[in-house]
Structure 1
Amino acid sequence: MEAMPSRGRYGPEYTPELVSAIASCSAAIARLDARISASSVASAWGLRAAWSGYARGLQLQGVEIDEIDVFSWGCGLRIEGRPFRATNLGEFTEFDDWRTALLSEDALGWRDGLPTAVIDPAQAAAHPALIRAIDRIRQYSRLDGTIAPWLGLPFALRDQGLCTRPLPSLVGGAKALRLKRQPSDADWLTILRSLHGAADSGLERLDHLERLYRDAQRAIVREYRAGALPSLAALSIHRPLLSPQSVSQLLGLSVAGASKLLERAASAGLVVEITQRRTWRVFLAADLAITFGYIRAQRGRPRSEPPPLPASRDLSDVFDAFDDQMAEIDRILARH
């Protein structure tokens, strides 16, 4: 094995602990990237991950905000019991442009927008791709005090070949990158472990979202007359916070009809009501209810998933129709 490059003025000291952290973090990012490329819920995961990543970026900027509050903002619903956030503080002004960049096919767009002083020095070629990606964010954050550098890490990872697309849940960094001329080895280790955790969390949430998708298929099959349930199931996968009013607007139902439809979805285990007042009800997709602490995780062994439904032409037609509903909801939300 070739000797690791000396520290010099670039990167960390390559101790065994740090080398192990680089390897495991890179592998975690690769696993997430591979799963996303083959997932039927990649689009919905991408939007949810963008809200999660943006919350992390705001926290690195010193904004006291929880992830659920960014989901609340993104879905346009205020959650009972959560602190009110003023809309004139400009906390979310960068989100739309960032989301557009994440979806762009222009692989050079983010790199071309960097300050000209952000460069890979000659010695960077001898360092791991993950270190080069993080160092770009370090340089960027020293020049720009906004949220932009933290939001840039998914692009830096993509540019260094660690993933095939920017993965929005991998927003990150550390205040030490901005505040210290030379981050310590402990700072590097903290950043790597945090990024590793974000990749593992992104993969876990993808697992849960894919299970919700399969649970929705089973719920539709169990219904004698599914009616608008497939549309609501598809909507809850893309927009996890829903109210009767928002469902009414997006699916063209009456508010009373939307309320009854949400109750059907709750009975099927697809959504969980998280408010107490009957006058302004809010429901959360079941896969996030435990994540955000609205219901308790079951103790003991994880609940086993029901076996796959037997293959048949009729079921194939039902599932194809549900996938069409998923695509249609994606188009509807893109216009809002």
Structure 2
Amino acid sequence: MVAAIASCTAAIARLDARIMVSSVASAWRRRAAWMGYTGALQLQAIEIDEIDVFSWGCELKITGRALRASTVDIFEEFAPWQAALRNPDPFAWRMARPLALAETDSATAHPLLVRALDMLRRDSRTDRSIAAWLGLPFALRDLSLCAAPLPCLTGGAKAFRLRKTVDQQDWLSALRALEASARSGLAHLDDLDRHYRLAQRAIAEEYRPGALPRLLALTSYRPLLGPQSVATLLDMSVAGASKLLERATEAGLLVEISGRRSWRQYLTPDLATAFGFIEPRRGRPRKDPPPLPANPKIAEAFDAFDREMAEIDAMLDASALNRDNSRA
């Protein structure tokens, strides 16, 4: 148990340290929210795969995936949760909850990670909704295990809700699952960082980048795209969006996953591998290419790409806010 606590705490600390200095932190938090919400849905005994939550988040149904029943909206808690994750007020999530349970006097004698999981356990016993599982990132933040809520760190164990008294195996299961989420989040961050560097290189090597930088910035936030969605988001023709997607595919920054001549769909290579669309590379990992030589022209291209990413982030946030307001 002591080894599991130490290992899990270290994994969370590594992820927290990396995300604080990453150039793609905003894009990662968007993906991490989809990852974390998937875990919370599964703890609610809802049979769903991560690929389907990514598909919902990107507003594009993946060809060949089964349709989900529309009688119940399993994503209705996502928008309030995401708003709380972005809210700088540390009490925003806690005040929105119908019931907040205080820690017992003896709780302070336990490690911080155990205290966070115990808060989750007590919440899950009193609140049968998905909100209990979604609260773990805030509990970890409140106990200073991370500087800000890390969306992928939802979790717990079904035994927390189903059993009045949990045993050591249940605690170990929750700790190992939480550590696996932290490691997975760090792997996704590594993939995003690599995609960011390769996108910069591809832009710098293009004679006339055109709209390619804007598309590559979009892929960081919307890893699943099709010609119609790109045309709508970037305000261009479907034919132009198709050509732009083909350019990104030729540069190795997207993978075509639909296998069709019409209604094509594209996914970033890391997720295409994770979701089983392409085979993972065997043998030693490929060595990243050396950094491009520093010069004013390349620095200007990199700065422009960063501005594109910031604009895409703001555009998607505004779009999500308008969509939520229209539903309300």
Q: Fold-level match, TM-score > 0.5?
A: yes
1:14 counterpart residue number:
none
2:198 partner letter: D
Aligned residues: 319
- Alignment-derived partner of residue 242 in structure 2: 259
User: Can you list the C-alpha shifts for 1:291-329, whole angstroms capped at 9, x where unaligned?
Assistant: 111111111001110011111111110100000000011
> Matches of 2:135 and 2:100 in 1, distance apart?
16
- Counterpart of 1:304 in structure 2 is 287
- The residue that corresponds to 1:150 in the other structure is 133
Query: What residue number does 1:273 align with?
Result: 256
The structure with the greater share of residues assigned to helix is 2
Q: Tell whether 2:58 aligns with 1:75.
A: yes
Q: Is the 8 A contact 1:271 1:283 kept in 2?
A: yes
Matching of residue 92 in structure 1 with residue 75 in structure 2: yes
Is 2:161 the counterpart of 1:178? Answer: yes
Indicate the residue corresponding to 2:300 in structure 1.
317
Q: 1:115 touches 1:140 (CA, 8 Å); kept in 2?
A: no
- So what's the TM-score if we normalise by structure 2? 0.95
Within 2, Cα distance between the matches of 1:21 and 1:80?
40
SS at match of 1:155: helix
Could you tell me how far apart the structure 2 residues matched to 1:103 and 1:112 are? 15
| Pair 1:330 & 2:313 matched | yes
How far, CA to CA, are the matches of 1:117 and 1:297 in structure 2?
Answer: 45
TM value normalised by structure 1:
0.93
Query: Relative to 1, partners in 2 of residues 1:85 and 1:152: Cα closer, same or farther, differing over 3 Å?
Result: same
Q: Quick one: distance in 2 between partners of 1:223 and 1:271?
A: 16
Deviation digits for residues 256-293 of structure 1 (CA, Å, limit 9, x no counterpart): 00001000000001111110222211111122111111
Report matched runs for 1:171-250 at 5 Å: 171-250=154-233
Aligned partner (choices 273, 276, 301) of residue 290 of structure 1: 273
Identity %: 60
Q: Is the 8 A contact 1:137 1:149 kept in 2?
A: yes
The answer as to whether partners of 1:33 and 1:164 remain within 8 angstroms in 2 is yes
CA spacing shift, 1:114–1:131, aligned 2, 3 Å: farther
Find the aligned partners of 1:36 and 1:124 in 2 and give their Cα distance: 29
Give the one of 101, 108, 113 matched to 1:130: 113
Asked if the contact 1:114–1:140 (Cα under 8 Å) also holds between the matched residues in 2, the reply is no
* CA distance in structure 2 between the aligned counterparts of 1:55 and 1:249, rounded to whole angstroms: 27
Q: Please state how far the C-alpha of 1:88 moved relative to its aligned partner.
A: 3.4
In 2, Cα distance between equivalents of 1:216 and 1:313: 18
For the residues of structure 2 that align with 1:100 and 1:189, how far apart are their CA atoms?
31
Cα offsets for 1:30-63 (capped at 9, x unmatched): 1101110100100000000001110111111111
Q: Who is 1:13 aligned against?
A: none
One-letter amino acid of the counterpart of residue 71, structure 1: F
Question: Alignment RMSD, CA only?
Answer: 1.0
SS of equivalent residue, structure 2 residue 274: coil
Return 5+ residue gaps in structure 2 as ranges: 320-328
